[in-house]
Amino acid sequence: MVARRKGRGFLSIRVVESPPNTMNNKHSRTSWRCIVCIKPVPDPSRFDRLRLDPETMLLKRDEVPPVINPLDRNAIEAALEVKHRLGGRVAVVTMAPPSGQEQLVEALALGCDRAFLLTDKAFAGADTLATARTLAAACAKLGRFDLILCGAWSADGSTAQVGPQLAELLGIPDMVHVRRMELSGGKVLAHCHRENGTAVLEAARPALVTLDQDSNKPGLAPMTGIRKALQSKITVWSCRDLGLKPRQVGLAGSPTRMLNVFAASASRKGEIFQGTVDEMTTQLLERLNQEQVLTTGKGGKR
């Protein structure tokens, strides 16, 4: 099926049955300016140590060190592949507390060229929209870009909203849950994972893609890259630097309100029947009937 879609730079949409899972860039000799948006998240391999502060209802992150959101590493890998094959530069951006520098150093060590830390007390408490607004201001300030890459979702929030919101704010097409990407002649062809197959979307640059886990195999930061990254400068931008007002960002700029956070708990109650096998079976059937577990028919439980 091929469909044309007007607006926001989409050229075509096609749905195919089998989901491909490899990156395959058809080359054209034009360089691409990529921006990768990353987020520091608590190390997912240590999520078992995450605790919720019962008073503030915020995550106690002290015992779990932050890392680059795993899917953002797929985004970095995809951007570096574009740079390697077609030329261009890769800028990496994060909205985070000052400690977010560490994830930017790692992104530089992986091969990104420039790093930007968006940090300001005013950014605290941002929901996805306020985050996207802040990132959009940074992308606009960076000047001309061809491709913005994000992880499809973050390991901590898992909303998958920031990428599409960022594209909407910038007025560019977005292709989400991308498993395979082809760049050719100034166009992006993206194979996007859908529930029942793969949607193949084509858009002219500039565009935004969010990467799925199986889009590529993220590389490791080589030791020589770490050494080089230490000598690189990280640009820090505040709310004022981005030309935003405090009411547009952080908690003040967030329409979402968190009413409650709780750890879901599954509790079970056990009953022990005693007697002969026949007696226990009878007791069990009575209890199951009592709970309407075995009742069938209209309106009943099965």
Task: Please select the residue that binds other proteins; options are 3, 52, 65, 282, rule is CB under 8 A.
Answer: 65
- Restricted to residues 103-122, the positions that interact with other proteins (CB under 8 A) are 105-106, 109
CB of 47 to other proteins, least distance (A): 15
Binding-site residue total for other proteins (CB under 8 A)? Answer: 17
CB of 223 to other proteins, least distance (A): 3
- Between 79 and 229, name the residue whose CB sits nearer to other proteins: 229
CB of 102 to other proteins, least distance (A): 4
Kindly indicate which of the ranges 176-184, 218-226, 251-259, 260-268 contains the residues binding other proteins, using the contact rule CB under 8 A: 218-226
Per rule CB under 8 A, is residue 124 in the interface with other proteins? no
Task: Please select the residue that binds other proteins; options are 88, 206, 225, 250, rule is CB under 8 A.
Answer: 225
- Restricted to residues 3-62, the positions that interact with other proteins (CB under 8 A) are none
The answer to whether 89 and 83 have CB atoms below 8 angstroms apart is yes
Per rule CB under 8 A, is residue 1 in the interface with other proteins? no
- Between 82 and 105, name the residue whose CB sits nearer to other proteins: 105
Per rule CB under 8 A, is residue 163 in the interface with other proteins? no
- Between 65 and 300, name the residue whose CB sits nearer to other proteins: 65
The answer to whether 205 and 167 have CB atoms below 8 angstroms apart is no
- Between 230 and 294, name the residue whose CB sits nearer to other proteins: 230
Per rule CB under 8 A, is residue 272 in the interface with other proteins? no
What is the per-residue DSSP string for the chain?
A: -EE---STTEEEEEEESS------PPP-S--EEEEEEE-EEE-GGGGGG-EE-TTT--EE-TTS-EEE-HHHHHHHHHHHHHHHHH-EEEEEEEE--GGGHHHHHHHHHHT-SEEEEE--GGGTT--HHHHHHHHHHHHHHT---SEEEEESS-TTT----HHHHHHHHHT--EEEEEEEEEEETTEEEEEEEETTEEEEEEEESSEEEEE-GGG-------HHHHHHHHTS-EEEE-TTTTT--GGGSTTTT---------------------S-HHHHHHHHHHHHHHTTSS--STT---
CA 267 from centre of chain? 32
Per rule CB under 8 A, is residue 277 in the interface with other proteins? no
CB of 282 to other proteins, least distance (A): 26
Kindly indicate which of the ranges 11-19, 98-106, 154-162, 195-203 contains the residues binding other proteins, using the contact rule CB under 8 A: 98-106
Per rule CB under 8 A, is residue 227 in the interface with other proteins? yes
Enumerate binding residues for other proteins (CB under 8 A): 65, 67, 101-102, 105-106, 109, 220-227, 229-230
